Amino acid sequence: MPSPSIPKNMRQQGQAGEDAALAWLQQQGLTLIRRNFRCRMGEIDLIMQDGRTLVFVEVRQRASRGFGGAAASITRTKQLRLIKTAQLFLQKLNTTPASRFDAIALDGGKITWLKNIIET
């Protein structure tokens, strides 16, 4: 259930952004494994398969590129939460595949795919 502290229209915008990112990544040949994986450490918006590589995708959306745009909003703190959440997801698998962290930045409707945004 969505957080009650987030206005409904913001949740709807976030959902629409994730929908657009998912459709775009699928057009690029990636396959959806899991959407909105949540645990006590955080959330991963999309978990995709790119060939043999598992891709943890953070989707960020901004109305414009002002103040650095969507990609600039992925702070070091957010990156650490993504890493911890991905580690928990990987622990649940029988084997550990190659993996990477990507971001989809939606700035004013323009999609930018940033690959391998976090070095672990």
Indicate whether 17 belongs to any domain. yes
Q: Taking Cα atoms as reference points, which of 27, 25, 13, 23 lies closest to residue 60? A: 13
Give a yes or no: residue 68 inside a domain.
yes
Q: Answer whether 66's CB lies under 8 Å from 84's CB.
A: no
Helix, strand, or coil (residue 18) = helix
In a domain, 107, yes or no: yes
* Residue 2: inside a domain: no
Over the stretch 66-83, which tens digit does the pLDDT of each residue have?
A: 556 677 678 889 999 999
- The CATH number for 30's domain is 3.40.1350.10
Asked, for residue 28, whether it belongs to a domain, the answer is yes
Tens-place pLDDT, residues 84-93: 999 999 999 9
Positive or negative, the Cα torsion across 25, 26, 27, 29?
positive
Residue-range definition of the domain harbouring residue 50: 8-114
**Could you give the CA distance from residue 31 to residue 9 in angstroms, rounded to a whole number?**
28
Query: So what's the pLDDT on residue 4?
Result: 46
Mean pLDDT of the chain: 85
Percent of the chain with pLDDT over 70: 80
Q: What's the structural domain count of the chain?
A: 1
Percent above pLDDT 90 for the chain: 59
What's phi and psi for 7, nearest 5 deg? Answer: -55, 145
- Residue 82 domain-assigned (yes or no): yes
- Evaluate whether 113 touches 98 at the Cβ level (below 8 Å): no
Other C-beta atoms closer than 10 Å to the C-beta of 6 total 10
